[in-house]
């Protein structure tokens, strides 16, 4: 069966054209011949060729090969995926090397061996298909990256706290420095990481995100470093790890503070050597990644307590960014809410609603334990369930949340308020006493006393 390929042959010798057409027509669907190289642009404007077999010399007495290289550059400028094969009677190693260095797929001498010629054309066809596949994958990656980035596009704020974050990002994005992002859940740590990647020299390459908190110790090495076929029971094929996939781009390690000591050690070794070894293999593979890490845990306190390796902490935090919680930048709430209302109104085909003053006042007073992520979900719900063009308090705060807020507003008993404040601080910081006492403004001893008192 003939290959579905289109071949253009350009040579000033009619006999050469006839011989090549007769030989290749039996293997490929379309073979076009042309004597004049200046006809190439016109032919390429009408038809897309997979392979162009091109003579290197067209003028009598000239055998430098410069003419062929000139026309190859013209061809590749129009279609970089075309495979160009040079054919010449004035062959030499120096000329062949020059042709390949300039971008030729292959180099054939006249007179040619039929089998070698056919093999060269088949290789060139496979090379063309590979180029098309790579271009297709790049376009898909670009489309996917743009789609994902659109989901993380609430990188905004006019507060002083966020302005400080923006200034640091402006300084660090263009470098390859490792960045550690600290902040509570929902503050937008991955949004910041993606913004740094978009502004970096690696922006055209991949951004790979890994949630370390969701990886068990048994999956850690396979996911990050990859494995070879047969390395373990379910390893049915070779598989690259996230480090390999991210090579050339940015690797974002989220929830790095959750790693066990043994996994911290393995990660540190990789970051120091910039090499990974797949499970089941003994061959190290060099990787080139820009590292961005994030955690919502008090990583410095963990290091002081021996729960997080200091040498790993130094390795990942050349630059440190701390993202303020939403309750500490309340002036950004109207901006964020309006942004999300517009976004979801567009998504669900609804008019963009406004927020009445009473509702906005409540939004500004709310403590936002879920930070920007909670605000985003609240805006989406309000767009879906809200009626009319004006949103009221009940469109945002309904059910349990509304009852909880009302109960706190109406309570005048100080002990009850204190109990609720302590419970909220403990929940927010996932039991981290140091951060809870700092937020509550009391001593650690006082907090322990009140925990026992209120049986929390």
Task: Note the pLDDT tens digit of each residue in 46-60.
Answer: 888 999 999 888 765
Q: How far is residue 132's CA from residue 104's CA, in Å, rounded to a whole number?
A: 16
Backbone angles phi, psi at 440, to 5 degrees: -80, -20
First CA to last CA distance, the chain: 78
Query: Which pLDDT value is given to residue 454?
Result: 73
Is the pLDDT assigned to residue 267 strictly greater than 90? yes
Q: Count CA atoms closer than 13 A to 216's CA, side-chain side.
A: 2
pLDDT category of residue 273 using cuts at 50, 70 and 90: very high
User: For the residues 296-308, what does the mean pLDDT come to?
Assistant: 93
Contact at 8 Å (CB) between 364 and 330?
Answer: yes
Which residues on neighbouring strands pair with residue 51, listed in sequence order?
Answer: 7, 83
| φ/ψ of residue 50, rounded to 5 | -90, -40
- Summarised one tens digit per residue, pLDDT across range 332-346 is 999 999 999 999 999
Higher pLDDT, 454 or 38: 38
pLDDT of residue 57: 80
Q: Over 50: is that where the pLDDT of 105 sits?
A: yes
Please name the CATH architecture into which domain 152-324 falls.
3-Layer(aba) Sandwich (3.40)
Bridging pattern class, strands 239-240 and 226-227: antiparallel
Contact residues for 434 (Cβ-Cβ < 8 A; gap 6+): 298, 301, 444
Confidence band of 1 (pLDDT split at 50, 70, 90): confident
Nearest to 39 by CA among 62, 64, 71, 2: 71
Parse the chain into domains and list their residue ranges. 3-133, 152-324, 327-401, 411-456
**Contact between 425 and 414 (Cβ < 8 Å):** no
Top pLDDT among 431 and 50 is at 50
Note whether 152-324 and 411-456 share their fold.
Answer: no
Written as six digits, the tokens of 263 are 């996994």
The whole-angstrom separation of Cα 453 and Cα 448 is: 9
Q: Which of 424, 433, 337 is nearest to 386 (CA)?
A: 337
Q: Which CATH number fits domain 411-456: 1.10.10.60, 3.40.1050.10, 3.40.640.10, 3.30.750.24?
A: 1.10.10.60
pLDDT at position 62 is 55
Q: State the pLDDT confidence band at 410, using cuts at 50, 70 and 90.
A: very low
pLDDT per residue as tens digits for the range 361-392 = 999 989 898 899 999 999 999 999 988 889 99
Q: What pLDDT, on the 0 to 100 scale, is given for residue 312?
A: 97
Is the pLDDT at 241 greater than 70? The verdict is yes
What per-residue confidence (pLDDT) applies to 403? 41
Per-residue confidence at 324, pLDDT binned at 50, 70, 90?
very high
- pLDDT average, residue stretch 423-445: 77
CA distance linking residue 52 with residue 310, whole number of Å: 59
Closest CA to 244 of 214, 278, 213: 278
> Does 131 have pLDDT greater than 90?
no
Per-residue confidence band for 406, with pLDDT thresholds at 50, 70 and 90:
very low
Question: Mean per-residue pLDDT for 150-156?
Answer: 57
Q: Do the beta carbons of residue 296 and residue 257 sit within 8 Å? A: yes
pLDDT interval class at 134 (50, 70, 90): confident
- For residue 147, the model assigns a pLDDT of 55
Say how far apart CA 149 and CA 169 lie, in whole Å: 17
> Residue 227's closest CA among 275, 288, 282?
282
Contact 258/297 with Cβ under 8 angstroms? Answer: yes
In whole numbers, what is the pLDDT of the chain averaged over residues? 86
Question: What totals of helices (H) and strands (E) does the chain contain, helices first?
Answer: 20, 16
**213-251 burial string, b = 16+ CB within 10 Å, else e?**
eebeeeebbbbbbbbbeebeeebeeebbbbbbbbbebbb
pLDDT, position 453:
75
Domain 327-401: give its CATH architecture. Answer: Orthogonal Bundle (1.10)
Residue with tokens 């011949």: 33
Q: Would you call 388 exposed, middle or buried from its count of C-beta atoms within 10 A (0-12, 13-18, 19+)?
A: exposed
Per CATH, the homologous superfamily of domain 3-133 is Response regulator (3.40.50.2300)
**Span 104-122, average pLDDT:** 89
* pLDDT tens-place string over residues 162-219: 999 999 999 999 999 999 999 998 899 999 999 999 999 999 888 999 999 888 888 8
What pLDDT, on the 0 to 100 scale, is given for residue 424?
Answer: 79
pLDDT, greater one: 179 or 45: 179
Residues 6+ apart with CB under 8 A from 347: none
More confident residue, 152 or 141: 141
**Does residue 67 contact residue 49 with C-beta atoms inside 8 Å?**
no
Three-state SS at 374:
helix
Report for 58-62, 114-118, 268-272: range of highest mean pLDDT: 268-272
- Band of residue 92 on the pLDDT scale cut at 50, 70, 90: low
């Amino acid at each position: 069966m003939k290959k579905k390929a289109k071949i253009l042959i350009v040579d000033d010798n009619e006999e050469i054209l006839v011989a090549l057409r007769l030989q290749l027509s039996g293997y490929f669907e379309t073979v076009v011949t042309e004597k004049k190289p200046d006809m190439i642009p016109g032919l390429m404007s009408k038809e897309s060729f997979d392979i162009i077999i091109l003579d290197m010399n067209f003028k009598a007495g000239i055998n430098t090969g410069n003419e062929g290289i000139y026309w190859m550059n013209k061809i590749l400028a129009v279609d970089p995926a075309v495979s160009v094969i040079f054919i010449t009677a004035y062959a030499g190693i120096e000329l062949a090397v020059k042709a390949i260095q300039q971008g030729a797929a292959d180099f054939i001498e006249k007179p040619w061996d039929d089998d070698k010629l056919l093999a060269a054309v088949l290789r060139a066809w496979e090379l063309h298909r590979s180029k098309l596949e790579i271009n297709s994958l790049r376009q898909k990656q670009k489309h996917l990256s743009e789609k994902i980035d659109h989901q993380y596009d609430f990188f905004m704020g006019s507060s002083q706290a966020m302005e400080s974050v923006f200034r640091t990002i402006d300084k660090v994005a263009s470098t390859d420095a490792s960045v550690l992002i600290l902040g509570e859940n929902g503050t937008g740590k991955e949004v910041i990481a993606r913004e740094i990647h978009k502004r970096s020299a690696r922006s055209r390459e991949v951004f790979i995100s890994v949630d370390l908190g969701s990886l068990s110790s048994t999956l850690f090495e396979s996911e990050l470093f990859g494995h070879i076929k047969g390395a373990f029971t379910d390893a049915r094929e070779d598989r690259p790890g996230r480090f390999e996939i991210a090579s050339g781009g940015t690797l974002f390690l989220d929830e790095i503070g959750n790693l066990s000591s043994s996994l911290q050690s393995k990660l540190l070794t990789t970051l120091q050597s910039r090499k990974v070894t797949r499970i089941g293999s003994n061959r190290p593979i060099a990787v080139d990644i820009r590292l961005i890490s994030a955690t919502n845990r008090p990583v410095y306190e963990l290091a002081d307590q021996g729960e997080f390796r200091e040498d790993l902490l130094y390795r990942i935090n050349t630059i440190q960014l701390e993202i303020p919680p939403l309750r500490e930048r309340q002036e950004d709430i109207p901006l964020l809410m309006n942004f999300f209302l517009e976004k979801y109104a567009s998504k669900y085909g609804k008019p963009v609603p406004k927020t009445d003053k009473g509702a906005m006042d409540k939004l500004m007073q709310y403590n936002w334990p879920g930070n920007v992520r909670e605000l985003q979900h609240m805006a989406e719900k309000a767009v879906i369930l809200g009626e009319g063009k004006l949103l009221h308090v009940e469109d945002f705060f309904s059910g349990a949340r509304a009852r909880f807020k009302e109960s706190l507003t109406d309570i005048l008993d100080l002990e009850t308020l204190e109990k609720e404040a302590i419970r909220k601080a403990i929940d927010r910081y996932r039991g981290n006493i140091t951060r809870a006492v700092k937020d509550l403004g009391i001593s650690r001893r006082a907090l322990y006393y009140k925990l026992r008192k209120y049986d929390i």
